[in-house]
Amino acid sequence: MRVGLTGGVASGKSPVAAMLADLGAIVIDADALAREVVARGTPGLEQVVAAFGPELLTDDGDLDRPRMGALVFGDEEKRTLLESIVHPLVFERYAELEASATPEDVVVHDIPLLAESGRADGFDAVLVVDVPDEMRIDRMLRDRGWTREDAESRIAAQATREQRLAIATHVIENVSTIEELRTRVGEIWAELTAV
């Protein structure tokens, strides 16, 4: 079974992915793969440097992710260019990892930009971690130390809450305690594995 997992920035998607992994899912994390395909020495990093310049590298030769983020999140053209480099490389790694799963496995694709990618219909189920925007902003200010402007620009750069909910087969509201979140994830896992 192929499951898409998504949620906006600061929705709590990562804890949900960890809970699903604890229940037995094979979790493929798009963010981790996006970092992997532009790691030092990769063709992906070479393409990013060719497109955006060597000033986006740290002194050690790694991609300076905060600088890259600041450059692309406020500029749709630059963000689209970055995505045109990274997304095909990530999808290639996805295919490799998914091919290693057995037919009995539940493979969860942790994809922050699933609604934006137009690929939701390629999954047997889509789980959306949902949190009101103002609560997400509060989390970014408190947990990540971002400014309100940074938080709002990250939200504006992603699909709207309504767009994410429109692709959901299951909604996981993450507005309360970790115990309640774990209970909801367990309920959905039971549904997915009962098929």
Structural domain contains residue 32: no
Structural domain contains residue 30: no
Structural domain contains residue 10: yes
**Phi, psi values for residue 61, rounded to 5°:** 90, 10
* Prediction pTM value: 0.78
DSSP assignment of 89-126 equals HHHHHHHHHHHTS-TT--EEEE-TTHHHHT-GGGSSEE
Instruction: Tell me if residue 74 falls in helix, strand or coil.
Output: coil
Number of domains in the chain: 2
- 69 with 115, same domain? no
- 126 with 189, same domain? yes
pLDDT tens by residue, 35-67? 999 999 999 999 999 999 999 999 999 999 989
pLDDT tens by residue, 71-116? 998 798 999 999 999 999 998 998 888 898 998 999 999 998 899 9
Tell me which amino acid residue 59 is. Answer: D
Query: Residue 79 has what pLDDT?
Result: 92
- 54 with 117, same domain? no
Structural domain contains residue 43: yes
- 112 with 193, same domain? yes
- 62 with 121, same domain? no
- 51 with 10, same domain? no
Query: Which CATH number covers residue 154?
Result: 3.40.50.300
- Residue ranges making up the domain that contains 56: 37-105
